[in-house]
Amino acid sequence: MTETMIVTIGGEAVAVPAVMNFTALKRAWMSIMALGEAADPVAQIEAAIGIMAAALARVRPDLTADVIGERVEGAEMIGLLSAVPALLASSGLVPTGEAQPGTAPAGQAPSISTASSPA
């Protein structure tokens, strides 16, 4: 059974694969890059939605970025944004800087690097 993480989208608990395969990463790449460059919360949430939609494409193709954007509300947005660093780290992308995988300073998206972890 594939490991999942739970995020809430429009009041629904959605099981997101905890590891993105290459196709999902490729689909999410523009959003991943946008997250690293996002200077405001709206851009950060938009990028997180794109990443989640890519992660869900195989198991929940009905949850496109547009659908997630329409359904996600209030604190769910922060939950989506908070889930992204752990999802990217478990998929082989490593956050840079002093924050540990799965964490970022409050109100700030993580900086993402494609560097490999030390062996």
Per DSSP, the three-state class of 64 is: coil
pTM of the predicted model as reported, rounded to 2 decimal places? 0.77
Render pLDDT for 46-79 as a digit per residue (tens, 0 to 9): 999 999 999 999 999 999 999 999 999 999 999 9
Distances (CA, A) of 95 to 5, 14, 110: 18, 24, 6
What does the pLDDT average to over 99-108?
48
If pLDDT is split at 50, 70 and 90, which confidence band does 95 have?
low
Instruction: Say which residues have a Cβ less than 8 Å from residue 45's Cβ, sequence separation at least 6.
Output: 72, 77, 80, 81
- In terms of Cβ atoms closer than 10 Å to its own Cβ (0-12, 13-18, 19+), residue 84 is buried
User: Per-residue pLDDT for 20 more than 60?
Assistant: yes
Contacts 24+ apart (CB under 8 A), 37-41: 38/109, 41/107
